[in-house]
Amino acid sequence: MTKIKVNDITMNYEQQGSGEPLILIPYLAADNACYAFQCADYAKHFTCISVDPRGAGETDKPDSAYTTELMADDVSALMQAIGVGRAHVSGLSLGGAIGMWLAVKYPEKVKSLSIHSGWSKSDTFLKTVVESWLLLLKGTGNVPEMIINGIFPWCFTPELYVNKPEYIESLAAFVRSRPPQPVEAFKRQTEAVMAHDIESRLSEIKAPTQITFGRHDQVTSTRFAGVLTDNIRDSELLIFEDCSHAPIYENVADFNHRTLEFLQRN
pLDDT of the chain, 266 residues: tens digit per residue: 799 999 999 999 999 999 999 999 999 999 999 999 999 999 999 999 999 999 999 999 999 999 999 999 999 999 999 999 999 999 999 999 999 999 999 999 999 999 999 999 999 999 999 999 999 999 999 999 999 999 999 999 999 999 999 999 999 999 999 999 999 999 999 999 999 999 999 999 999 999 999 999 999 999 999 999 999 999 999 999 999 999 999 999 999 999 999 999 99
Q: Write down the pTM of the prediction.
A: 0.98
For residue 88, which phi and psi values (nearest 5 degrees)?
Answer: -70, 145
CATH number of the domain at 185, please.
Answer: 3.40.50.1820
What b/e sequence results for 154-186 when a residue is b if at least 16 CB atoms lie within 10 Å of its CB, and e otherwise? bbbbeebeeeeeeebeebbeebeebebbebebb
For residues 20 and 8, give the distance between their C-alpha atoms in angstroms, rounded to a whole number.
Answer: 28
Supply the pLDDT for residue 164: 98
Domain count, the chain: 1
What letter does residue 232 receive in the DSSP assignment? S
Give the C-alpha distances (Å, rounded to integers) separating 35 from 47, 141, 175: 13, 26, 12
Supply the pLDDT for residue 147: 98
Domain coverage including residue 229: 2-265
